[in-house]
Structure 1
Amino acid sequence: MRTLSRTFFVASFLVAAVAHASTPAELLAQYSARSGQPPEPARGQQFFSTRHGKEWSCSSCHGATPVQSGKHASTGKPINALAPAFEPARFSDPAKVEKWFRRNCNDVVGRECTDREKADVLSWLITLK
């Protein structure tokens, strides 16, 4: 009986983990719905490439067109391509996406990004093929 309970628990955990996996389009839909406005890829590209009063822009580390590897502006640590078409694992784990948006927005903007800003940037990144 104990083995059956353990098997059920593991199976339930795996189903829950898969249910929380996302695609870039699903995340975009969530950010857009929460912002109450449709995403604008052009505004996302501008946000990505502009400094917002801090030392860096998103493009400082990810490159002007993030379809290839970049490197961290201060540590030099390599960063895989950001555009989902060039790095399929990008934007597949909502917890990681939120962690990196929070960390990077703080570095670039000095605060957390809004859902509209996230939607705009992600909508632009999705257009890169």
Structure 2
Amino acid sequence: MKALSFVIVVIAAPSALAATPAELLATYRAEAAKTAPNFAPSVQRGAEFFARRFGVSPQMPSCTSCHTEKPTQAGRHVITEKTIKPLAPAANGERFTDLAKAEKWFRRNCKEVVGRECTAAEKADFVAFLLETRP
């Protein structure tokens, strides 16, 4: 009996595996521009979104509930009490370097805090704000 050998080659788009926060911002900006051609990310809108009290969950009314008012500092999940590394890329070089991971957390956190999935424009504004945030 002959043994069969298989070689599996996985080809992945580099942007799906690793990226820079600026590349992720560009991805969200391009996606938002599909519905709003003149869209430009706004640090101010991102800061307002981060601090806004959505009121969907009494335990997590805003992003700051778990991430603190300073995204350069570690936070703590209000339910699980797990420590959360800083959101700002300047304080945590791992943030926004993996599109799939960013999407996973946007999907989960937006549903819990905002009550729906976030739009590409909201994501772009949020990342723009975090890119400008320094320790």
Are 1:30 and 2:27 an aligned pair? yes
Are 1:99 and 2:69 an aligned pair? no
AA paired with 2:109?
N
- Partner residue of 2:36? none
CA positional deviation for 1:53? 2.7
What is the aligned residue count?
Answer: 122
| Deviations 1:49-108, CA, capped at 9 Å, x for gaps | 111132320011001111011000122110001101111111111111000000000011
Contact 2:74 2:83 survives alignment (8 Å): yes
Q: How far apart are the structure 2 equivalents of 1:28 and 1:51?
A: 24
CA positional deviation for 1:19? 4.9
Give the helix-richer structure, 1 or 2: 1
- Partner residue of 1:75? 80
Gapped regions of structure 2 (runs ≥ 5): 34-38
- Partner residue of 2:49? 47
> Helix, strand or coil: the match of 2:108?
helix
> Helix, strand or coil: the match of 1:16?
coil
AA paired with 2:83?
P
TM-score scaled by length of structure 1: 0.86
Give the share of equivalent positions with the same residue, in percent: 49
- Partner residue of 1:113? 118
- Partner residue of 2:64? 59
Contact 2:20 2:96 survives alignment (8 Å): yes
Q: How far apart are the structure 2 equivalents of 1:67 and 1:17?
A: 30
Are 1:16 and 2:21 an aligned pair? no
Q: 1:31–1:17: structure 2 CA closer, same or farther, 3 Å change rule? A: closer
CA positional deviation for 1:128? 1.0
Gapped regions of structure 1 (runs ≥ 5): none
Q: How far apart are the structure 1 equivalents of 2:103 and 2:122?
A: 13
